[in-house]
Each structure stands twice: as structure tokens, then as C-alpha cells.
Amino acid sequence: MSVQFIENNGMPEYAVIPAEDYETLLKKAEMLDDVVAFDKAVATEDELLPVELVTQLVSGENKVKVWRNYRGLTQMQLAQATNLTQAYIGQVETGKREGSVKVLVVIAEALGVDVDDLVS
């Protein structure tokens, strides 16, 4: 890399480099920003969610169903974990029942999420 310095009162004030070298440095700086952001995200204790899950959640799909599927549970397994019936879980997932706050707290605990994650 060839660098030309422009001085002011005998001190380097500007560095002039070829455009190709500038583009290379810019790409490397962007990659470093990405690495730092990734390291920060991995270091957090928050659960990292796949984009597919986030897309389902923001697209309006039933949040209980989305989280249940993400956790790899059947309706029956979730029902057993919550002491609810499979029919009740199904009705919550289809929107036939909203589920009380108490029920949503129990479901949230079984799914390992906050209640806020299950309501719009």
C-alpha cells in the first residue's frame, strides 16, 4: 500500500491512499464491525431466535402454536406440561379461546418464554 502524507506545520494531517486500497480497508472495517456485533450477540444470555421463528411471530401466526412448534412439543405434550386439555390448547391456538392471563402464564412457563411473547 502506498501512502502519501499531507503535512501541516510539519505534522502529518492527511493520508492519501489509492482508491483500491481504500475500498479494501473499508471492506475489512465492515467485516470487523460484523464480527464485533456477532460476538456481542453470542455473549448475551438472551435466547437467539432463528429468522424463520421471528417471521412467523410477526406475520400474525398464533404465538402459542409457533412457540410450541419451535420447542418441539405436540399439543398433547404441552397440555400435559400445563395440566390443561389438548382440546383447550387447540382452541387457544386456533383463536376459538383467548386464554386467561392465568392460563397464558402457565403456558408461557411450559414453553420457557415470557407471557409478553404470547400476546400481541
Lowest-pLDDT choice from 10-14, 80-84, 116-120: 116-120
Total-model pTM: 0.62
Which residue in 98, 94, 93 sits closest to 111, CA to CA? Answer: 93
Q: What's CA 17's distance to the chain center, in Å?
A: 39
Residue spans of the domains in the chain: they are 4-43, 51-118
Q: Which CATH architecture has domain 51-118?
A: Orthogonal Bundle (1.10)
| Type of residue at 17 | I
Q: What is the DSSP letter of 119?
A: -
Least confident of 35-39, 79-83, 91-95: 35-39
Q: What is the mean pLDDT of the chain?
A: 91
